[in-house]
């Protein structure tokens, strides 16, 4: 089906006392899937995001093939009922290429198995802007390059789709050779279920840098470090390790769920006034000026590309340092205590 260009309206999200730059929400529906309904989408890489998005796209009526290297993921895609082939064969047979390989591997795979086989007018879809933003992948000008970044892990992308909703997605256009790059991005976002929730306009730069900062300063860095430090403080003071784990790790999910559902306001509506007062008056002493300065330094390293270069160098060196750090975490006292505490709950 040949469809003309559509004009998309924006809904501007206004928040008091914020800078002039605001995110925009596309007012789109599942009808936008028509822009890719007669195209072949190659899902390249069948990990957490690749598998979830491939199944969502297929269930939305889109023709999907999978390109992957031999191994467990290849076999899983076959068992899921997809036509599975080498990456280069998938590239040559498709119109839209959804690249889901890990950040540290994508550039090498792109140079070897994707770039030599690209055709004019194909669209490259990325779920994270890392390799485009930092220049590790530089697509030819005769391709469209877009970002469709679901704000949720792969299993959640699939679960919410099956439940009849979807995770929000950020979308951006890096190259628009065909004049239809935005339409394809919106159609892809609809195909994975994001139009049921929210499709928000962004840029490759903003998505990449904020995503990395959130991971490092909070989700995978700051929060675990805070939990480790609080646990150690209680254990060294003589409290039972299981109790320390319960108070400093186990209950985190309960509070985070409240924040997720209704913000800090809902948290304060549900926790005790003792907890609320103690948290507000003492929290800033834990995350003080030094912590904020470190956050600024972390952000500067992300913005300058220093972190990206460091991580890619670590990958080229065999990721031995990273593997050692992960082993330290897995073999730590808090991990042992956590397992024992969870055993008490069964």
Residues in binding site for NADP(+): 46-49, 69, 73, 154
Q: What span, in angstroms and rounded, lies between the C-alpha atoms of 243 and 341?
A: 8
Q: Which of 128, 133, 174, 268 is catalytic?
A: 128
Q: Residues marked as binding for substrate?
A: 272
Q: What span, in angstroms and rounded, lies between the C-alpha atoms of 291 and 285?
A: 10
Q: Residues marked as binding?
A: 46-49, 69, 73, 154, 211, 215, 247, 251, 272
CA triplet 118, 122, 126: central angle to 5 degrees? Answer: 95
Q: Is 250 a catalytic residue?
A: no
3-class SS string, the chain: CCCCCCCCCEEECCCCCCCCCCCEEECCCHHHHHHCCCCEEEEECCCHHHHHHHHHHHHCCCEEEEECCCCHHHHHHHHCCCEEECHHHHHHHCCEEEECCCHHHHHHHHHHHHHHHCCCCCEEEECCCHHHHCCCCCCCCCCEEEEEEECCCHHHHHHHHHCCCCCCEEEEEEECCCCCHHHHHHHHHHHCCHHHCCEEECCHHHHHHHHHHHHHHHHCCHHHHHHHHHHHHHHHCCCCHHHHHHHHHHCHHHHHHHHHHHHHHHHHHHCCHHHHHHHHHHHHHHCCHHHHHHHHHHHHHHHHCHHHHHHHHHHHCCCHHHHHHHHHHHCCHHHHHHHHHHHHCC
Copy the structure tokens of residue 307.
Answer: 């972190």
CB 65 within 8 A of CB 78: no
Residues annotated as catalytic are 128
């Amino acid at each position: 089906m040949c469809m003309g260009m559509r004009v998309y309206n924006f809904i501007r999200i206004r928040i008091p006392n914020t800078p002039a730059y605001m995110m925009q929400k596309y007012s789109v529906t599942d009808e936008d899937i028509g822009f890719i309904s007669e195209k072949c989408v190659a899902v390249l890489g069948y990990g957490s995001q690749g598998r979830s998005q491939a199944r969502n796209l297929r269930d939305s009526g889109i023709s999907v093939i999978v390109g992957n290297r031999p191994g467990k993921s290849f076999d899983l895609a076959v068992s899921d009922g997809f036509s599975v082939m080498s990456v280069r064969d998938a590239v040559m047979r498709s119109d839209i290429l959804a690249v889901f390989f890990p950040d540290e591997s994508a550039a090498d795979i792109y140079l070897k198995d994707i770039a030599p086989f690209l055709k004019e007018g194909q669209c490259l879809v990325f779920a994270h802007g890392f390799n485009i933003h930092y220049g590790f992948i530089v697509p030819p000008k005769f391709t469209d390059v877009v970002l469709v970044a679901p704000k949720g892990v792969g299993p959640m992308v699939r679960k919410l789709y099956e439940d009849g909703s979807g995770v929000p997605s950020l979308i951006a256009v890096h190259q628009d050779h065909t004049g239809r790059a935005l339409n394809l991005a919106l159609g892809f976002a609809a195909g994975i279920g994001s139009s049921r929730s929210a499709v928000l306009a962004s840029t490759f730069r903003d998505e990449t840098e904020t995503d990395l900062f959130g991971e490092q300063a909070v989700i995978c860095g700051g929060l675990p470090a805070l939990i480790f430090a609080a646990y150690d403080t209680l254990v060294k003071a003589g409290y039972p390790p299981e109790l320390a784990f319960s108070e400093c790790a186990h209950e985190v999910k309960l509070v985070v769920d409240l924040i997720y559902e209704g913000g800090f306001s809902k948290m304060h509506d549900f926790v005790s006034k003792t907890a609320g007062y103690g948290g507000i008056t003492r929290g800033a002493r834990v995350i003080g000026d030094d912590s904020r300065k470190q956050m600024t330094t972390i952000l500067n390293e992300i913005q300058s590309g220093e972190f990206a270069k460091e991580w890619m160098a670590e990958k080229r060196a065999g990721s031995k340092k990273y593997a050692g750090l992960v082993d330290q975490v897995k073999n730590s006292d808090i991990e042992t205590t956590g397992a024992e505490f969870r055993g008490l709950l069964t």
